[in-house]
Each structure stands twice: as C-alpha cells, then as structure tokens.
C-alpha cells in the first residue's frame, strides 16, 4: 500500500474507533476530499478486508460512483453498507460450508416467498453468521407460513450441523421446524 492509502485506512480506523458507522466513515473521508471509490476501499481495509478484495469489490460498483451526487455522501455510505460493500467476508470451515449448504438449499426450496430477503440471507452466509441465518429463515418461514416440506427438512439439517448443545434458541427453532414436517 502507498503512504496515501495507509493514511486513508488509518483515518477510517480512527473514525470507526470514534463510533462512526462504516457509512459515516466513508462520508468523512469524502468530506476531506478523498475520491469516493478510494474512500470506500479505505473503509473496507479499515474493517479488515484485504486491499485486493476491497479493490475488486469497488470495481463491481464502478457504475455507481459517477451517479453519487455531492452532499449525499452519508446516504451513499449507508447505501453501500446496506448492500454489503463494507462486509468482512470469512472463509468458512468445511463444517460451516455444510451448514451454509443446508441453509442455501432451504432458501432455494422456499422459492419466491423469500425474494425480499435474498441480500440479507447471503450477507449472513458470506460473513459467517450461520446461526443468525438459520434463526432468520426459521422465523420468516413461520411468519409466512411456508408449506414446503423440503424447506423445513433442510432447516432441520442446518440446525443439526450447527450443533444443538451450544444453543437453546437453535434447539427450540429446530423443534418448530420438525413440528412443521408433521
């Protein structure tokens, strides 16, 4: 990294340390004259994403940068955050990949009923929040009264791969999934 890139990342680390959100840290960088694309990369790096991954992510948003209006920097930062731009992705273990597979199969089995939850679901998977993804799918499935047996069976498999002994909330949600199969 160049000295300028290090300085931008250090500034973002300081802003995040002050309690600013990633979107606010982005806006602060832009506010001091940093190019929006480079500000977004700096915040990603400050949060723990390696620079190469952050740069590749920024390329995916290249059509967005020219559309951002001056003065909308905090809203733009929040938009980037809402779409997972600042997420720190994790490398899942084999066991976690198994759980993620069950969760993704459940999500797919529900079909269009979960379309509005696509971004959130896949963000949870990419960031390793598998327990949260399981609990969210189970809750939405109950609320929307999903009557697809495969959905519930895949969630039971996901709960089993998460391990029930570690969490009573997962065990209770698993029990509700089994009840939906009956």
Write the pLDDT tens digit of every residue in 122-176: 999 999 999 999 999 999 999 999 999 999 999 999 999 987 655 789 999 999 9
Q: Do residues 41 and 62 make contact, with C-beta atoms less than 8 angstroms apart? A: no
Say if 105 falls within a structural domain.
yes
- What would you report as the CA-atom Rg of the chain, rounded to the nearest whole angstrom? 19
Last residue of a domain, one of 82, 102, 137: 82
Say if 87 falls within a structural domain.
no
Judge if 11 and 72 occupy the same domain.
yes
Judge if 55 and 110 occupy the same domain.
no
Residue 32: which domain range?
3-82
Say if 136 falls within a structural domain.
yes
Judge if 101 and 39 occupy the same domain.
no
Judge if 99 and 69 occupy the same domain.
no
Judge if 74 and 34 occupy the same domain.
yes
Last residue of a domain, one of 49, 82, 115: 82
CA–centroid distance for 149 within its chain: 27
CA–CA separation, 134 and 140 (whole Å)? 10
pLDDT digits 0-9 by tens, 17-37: 999 999 999 999 999 999 999
Total domains in the fold of the chain = 2
């Amino acid at each position: 990294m160049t000295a300028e890139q290090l300085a931008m990342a250090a500034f973002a680390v300081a802003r995040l340390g002050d309690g600013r959100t990633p979107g606010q840290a982005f806006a602060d960088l832009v506010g001091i004259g940093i190019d929006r694309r480079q500000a977004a990369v700096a915040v990603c790096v400050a949060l723990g994403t390696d620079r190469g991954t952050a740069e590749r992510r920024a390329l995916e948003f290249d059509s967005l940068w020219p559309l951002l209006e001056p003065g909308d920097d905090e809203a733009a930062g929040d938009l980037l955050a809402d779409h997972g731009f600042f997420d720190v992705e994790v490398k899942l273990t084999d066991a976690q990949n198994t759980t993620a597979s069950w969760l993704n199969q459940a999500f797919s089995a529900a079909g269009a009923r979960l379309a509005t939850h696509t971004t959130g679901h896949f963000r949870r998977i990419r960031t390793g929040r598998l327990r949260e993804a399981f609990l969210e799918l189970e809750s939405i499935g109950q609320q929307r009264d999903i009557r697809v047996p495969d959905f519930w069976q895949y969630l039971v498999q996901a709960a089993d791969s998460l391990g029930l002994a570690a969490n009573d909330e997962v065990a209770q949600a698993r029990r509700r999934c089994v009840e939906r199969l009956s």
